[in-house]
Amino acid sequence: MRHSRFLLVALFLALAALLAWQALAMPTGASFTSNSTDYGPTRSPSSITTNRSTITTLLLNAIQQDPHWKAYVGNITGTLTLQDAANNTIYDWSGLVAPTGEVYASTNGSLDFSTVACAAAGTVSTAQTAMNMTGSDPDSIGNTFNSTNHTATTVAGTLLNGCNMTSLYVNNASQGKNSSADYQEFLMQDAGSNLVYVAIINDNKVGYNGQTYDFEMLVAESHVAAPHTYYFYMELG
């Protein structure tokens, strides 16, 4: 009987430790230390003057900022630490390794990271509707994240692979949408069907404009409604 009670106590303590680890080993809210926004170039119109009684054939070309998307790029700083609920630190591991992990962005500020999975088609469709997109738009969420070949990634203890993904540009050019791209991004959701954009951190790589970053990320935006607020989380690997 004593042996059985000892086993029960041991099992209880092991379960409590596991639950505590699961509760704490989760992505955390990310804070901004600096930010700036680039609105793109200003392009002047071309002009032409033609004689009366003529017919002129024109080949017109325009480059326009996509109204369905916005992007974030940046660098990561962070510390692995052991703290209590009052932010008192007993030990930390600051500055030991280059940052790895993921940056998460969502219009929901209370995600359940214990229930994450690859974003389902219904979740993507709902998000598109919320952003005044349709699935047939060439720049819809589904048509932008139209590959599944990203690096397998563990999020809060859950391994995610084969999610809808895309990759962002390096030196003003596409890298191809695959697991060898420096800046990969994929779509996941939680149990509440909240869409989450996941950018895989890649320390100090050349970015879209020749400068070095740790991540690049696209998030959807409505072209008719007020700009949406995005909440940022981060998980250090």
Q: What is the mean pLDDT of each run of 10 residues along the chain (237 residues)?
A: 42 39 66 78 86 90 91 91 94 80 96 97 98 96 98 97 98 96 98 98 96 97 94 92
Separation in Å, CA 22 to CA 5, 17, 104, 114, 118: 26, 9, 19, 8, 20
**199 strand-pairing partners:** 103, 185
CB 229 within 8 A of CB 177: no
Cα distances (angstroms) measured from residue 68 to each of 3, 30, 137, 141, 211: 64, 24, 10, 9, 25
- What is the pLDDT, as a whole number, of residue 98? 76
Calculate the alpha carbon distances from 196 to 106, 115, 116, 167, 213 in Å. 5, 12, 9, 16, 21
The tokens of 184 are what?
A: 């990969």
Which residue type does 10 have? A
pTM strictly above 0.75: yes
Euclidean distance between the first and the last CA atom of the chain, given in angstroms as a whole number: 44
Please give the single-letter amino acid code of residue 175.
Q
The three-class DSSP label of residue 188 is strand
Q: Note the pLDDT of residue 119.
A: 98
129 CB-contact burial (10 Å; exposed 0-12 / middle 13-18 / buried 19+): exposed
